[in-house]
Structure 1
Amino acid sequence: MASAIASLPAQRGGGDGAAGASRPNIISIVTDDQARWSVGAYGNQEARTPHIDGLARDGARFDNAFVPTPVCSPSRAAFLTGRYGTQVGITDWISPAEAGRGLGLPASAITWPEVLKREGYATALVGKWHLGEDPAFHPHRRGFDHFFGFLGGGNRPMNPTLEDNGRPRSLQGSLPDLLVDDAIGFVERHRDRPFAVLLHFRAPHLPYGPVPYEDSAPFETLDPTIPDVPGLDRAQVKRWTRDYYASIHSVDRNIGRLLQAVDTLGLTARTVVLFTSDHGYMIGHHGIHTKGNGVWVAGGVTGPKRPNMFDTALRVPLVVRWPGVVRGGTVIAEPVTALDTFPSVLGMLGIPVPVDAAQQGADFSPLLRGQQVAWRDAVFGQYDLHHSGLAFMRMIRTAQWKLVRHHMADGLDELYDLQQDPDELRNLYGSEAARPVRDQLQMRLTDWQRSIDDPLLARLQR
């Protein structure tokens, strides 16, 4: 890790000098398994997300934000490094067995917190890591001065065991509250220098509860709107939805606590706040429960898996409050992905992207500034599922069309006209009329795979 940091080129305004001290702070909030459709700012009138909605009201809401892979670890790697999962060797969520065998985020994949630390920022990761459990992959070696949380993929929503000062501690209380207590403490201790806090909640991941009564109470009598999919156990899906909203409420309530602390310290005007999720989510959508590795639940059953790259699994909320720069209520339609976080955070903070970062993202900070810039017309995705199933999916999505290839499997490929079929219910892959579009998209998809040296291409050519 020391050699990776040393290889970063010198930057302007780095270190603890005046230029560094004048840079804005950043608080980056990532939830776990939170769908775009679950947020009030995106039209949900049943969930209670007033503090997330407030960030959108005071800042910018991205209407077309996606992740490249619809499960945890590769998506988080993309968020931190700007690189696809195949480029860092993480193509599915990291299981405990894989972590035990030494799988994790390689030192060659520079993270944007590493860059900020070199620029004089105090850096903290509070919450979930899920990018390797060996000492070589520890957050302290990936750009974080401070870590309070857990290295693996899961934890208890109540009375968790967390790493604190390098040691495991069994704590009492709600996990979101404990995480935000620590985040507030870090902000208080570093109020006089630029800081970066990455707050990674476990919620609203399964199990959704228990949560404090103040978070579940608003939904006790709610009759939630659920997908109109034949065969769903409607009572079960409604119960899941109420519990999901309660978990989200526990997050939003604590985001409010953190924002209030920042305001009380007089830091709001110079603190960028970014909110997003690691991927989308389904509770009965398409007859599936959870995400890109979700399971069929139609008919009241649980399983088998339905590997997918539906928009409900790939599309995420993304909100940025940037005081003094972003006009409140801004809505950005350009398609962005989690890969863009690396260059965009640096762009907002006035730090050049290291020349050897090898990241694949685009800087969306000009869009936040209201500038007219040339932008992509497509996003790409990949998912190599290998836990309790097997799938090799590649995707291209434009404003009108989405092509999903299920390699090494017959009869599963998908093509959707998103303008006529935004819910992705009519698969046109076998349509002769759609063949010219399908072939054009396939050419672009293959070109992209070549551009990132996708190892799947070599497997397909054997």
Structure 2
Amino acid sequence: MKRIALLLAIFCTLGTQSSFGATPPNVVVFISDDHSQLDSEAYGSTEVRTPNMARLAADGMKFTHAFVASPACGPSRTALLTGLWSARNGAEPNHKAKNANVASLPPALHALGYEVAAIGKVAHNTYAKDHGFDYVDGPNQGLSDTAAVAKFLAGRNAAKPLCLFVGTRHPHTPWSAERTYDPAAVKIPPTHVDTAVTREERASYLTDVTKSDTLLGEVRALVGQKIPGDTLFIYTADHGGAWPFGKWNLYDAGIRIPLIVAWPGRIKPGTSSDAMLCWPDLLPTLIELGGGKVPEGLDGKSFAGILRGTATAHRDRVYSTHSGDGDFNVYPIRSVRTRDWKYIRNLHPEFQHHTHISRSTGPSGLVYWKTWLAAAERDPAAAAIVKRYSERPAEELYDLTADPYELRNLASDPAHADRLAAMRADLSAWMEQQGDKQAVFGNPLLKGAPVTMITPGKKKTEK
């Protein structure tokens, strides 16, 4: 804790002199809520319409191996704003603020002369106030239009460089009832059960991905009109979509996210980078690009060199953690991912794995989950998917080159025993370095227990 307190002091005393002798760039970061990487034209999707993401990629650099620190809104966003993984910043379960003595990005940018603003869902809940933004405008659940962005940009004094975070609510649940995609034509991932209701909900999810893309285009147009000078524009998402094996999970569908950066005159248009990055890396990157010295002791590592074209590689592995989301999801998980392999440790395999999708009476997936349960009664393939969702082994190992959807667990395969042992030791050492107490947050369901439902806002479960 003393080390983190020291970081706070360093953040607040960073000099305002740019080490590159130039005016620091304006920065705009547009964040979607629950958007999986592959659900974008820029990343190869042929079914979803995201022309503004594709245009941004054509104007700048697309990162193909970008990951979040955690697949839940609160922990993910706190890791972005602190440069620390969850065990060190304090925001381990969803809906928990960072520890008060943990430093954030806005004070570091203030010391470099920036105005720092958050519009829409940037931090989680009401936690933007804890991070030190100069300007905060809700709604906290995220933007559905760009009126607040236009108002802010029209009224601000442009004398200072600006770092503006904009967060939309799309494609977070509840998804749109006005579908602009044909349910019969959508593609169902092999981890899902193909039912008529699944297709309808998939069409709704894609509709909201396109809504996010539309807002991205509107914000980018406003930035072009209202922010003069050198401007870096970033598009990203806090984690994958709220689907089984996506959000709340450490499979790639939950932790691999879009990250597209355009910087006219600095980044060559239409480029792609396969450098491995994680969300905590954004904080030191923005400090370095703003002309500051990156503090020691962060988990994040600046990738400014990649953006400037002086480097091509960054990390050789990324770590991710998930600790839970109320009683809906009490299932702590840790993972380490290299370019080609992933090791997952389920800390309590004696717990049932559930999420809002399968335990919430609210609009988070139960409508299609019920059809999966019905299909499982007559279809062995559907039954296997449902069982895999709720019952998991202590360890999982995946060859991501041969098995990108992480369908075949190789942890018990003797041919991979050495790799399993090495990745197990790697993750254990990292958890110890992080001071990970492996805490359980909430009341778990043990295997074999009846699945009770939870009404959002109520503490007690219902049969």
Normalized against structure 1, the TM-score is what? 0.78
**Quick one: structure 1 residues 276 and 380, their matched pair in 2 at CA, closer, same or farther if it must change by over 3 Å?**
same
Q: How does 1:275-314 map to 2 (within 5 A)?
A: 275-281=235-241, 283=243, 288=244, 291-292=247-248, 308-314=249-255
Aligned length: 392
The aligned counterpart of 1:337 is 278
Q: Cα deviation per residue 1:171-208 (whole Å; 9 max; x = unaligned)?
A: xxxx421xx22122222323342111110111110011
Distance 1:141 1:456 in 2: 25
Query: Which amino acid in the other structure matches residue 205 of structure 2?
Result: Y
Cα gap change, 1:388/1:141 in structure 2, threshold over 3 Å: closer, same or farther? closer
Question: Which range moves more in the overlay, 428-437 or 343-352?
Answer: 343-352
**Contact kept in structure 2, 1:384 and 1:392, CA below 8 Å:** yes
Gaps of 5+ in 1: 95-102, 156-174, 293-307
| Alpha-carbon displacement from aligned partner over 1:230-286 (angstroms, at most 9, x marks no partner) | 7431x212211221122122222122122222223463x511111100001264xxx
Counterparts in 2 of 1:41-440, with a 5 A limit? 41-94=42-95, 103-129=96-122, 131=124, 133=126, 137=127, 139-151=128-140, 154=141, 175-177=143-145, 180-188=146-154, 189-209=156-176, 216-217=179-180, 219=181, 223-228=185-190, 231-233=193-195, 235-265=196-226, 267=228, 270-281=230-241, 283=243, 288=244, 291-292=247-248, 308-355=249-296, 358-372=297-311, 375-385=314-324, 386-409=326-349, 411-440=393-422
Aligned to 1:33: 34
Could you tell me which residue of structure 2 aligns to residue 165 of structure 1? none
One-letter amino acid matched to 2:13: A
Would you say the 8 A contact 1:74–1:93 is kept in 2?
A: yes
Give the residue type in structure 2 aligned to 1:256: G
Is residue 129–residue 150 contact of structure 1 (8 Å, CA) maintained in 2?
A: no
SS of 1:197 mapped into structure 2: strand
Residue 455 of structure 2 corresponds to: none
Which whole-Å deviations, capped at 9, do the CAs of 1:398-430 have from their partners, x for residues lacking one?
Answer: 112111011232534211111221221110111
Change (3 A) 1:444 1:148: same
Q: Which amino acid aligns with 1:8?
A: F
Q: Compared with structure 1, are the counterparts of its residues 427 and 380 closer, same or farther at alpha carbon in structure 2 (3 Å cutoff)?
A: same
RMSD, matched Cα: 2.8
Identity %: 29
SS of alignment partner, residue 11 of structure 2: coil
1:379-400 per-position Cα deviation (integer Å, ceiling 9, x unaligned): 1111112532422211111112
Give the stretch that moved more between structures: 26-35 or 415-424. 415-424
User: Residues of 1 paired with 2:439 and 2:430: CA distance?
Assistant: 11
Q: 1:93: Cα distance to partner?
A: 1.5
Contact 1:415 1:438 in 2 (8 A): yes
Q: For 1:141-191, what per-residue CA distance to the aligned partner results, in whole angstroms no more than 9, with x for missing partners?
A: 52211111144xx47xxxxxxxxxxxxxxxxxxx421xx221222223233
Q: Counterparts of 2:104 and 2:32 in 1: how far apart (Å)?
A: 19
Structure 2: distance between partners of 1:372 and 1:3: 30
Kept in 2: contact 1:49–1:248 (CA 8 A): yes
More moved, 314-323 vs 402-411:
402-411
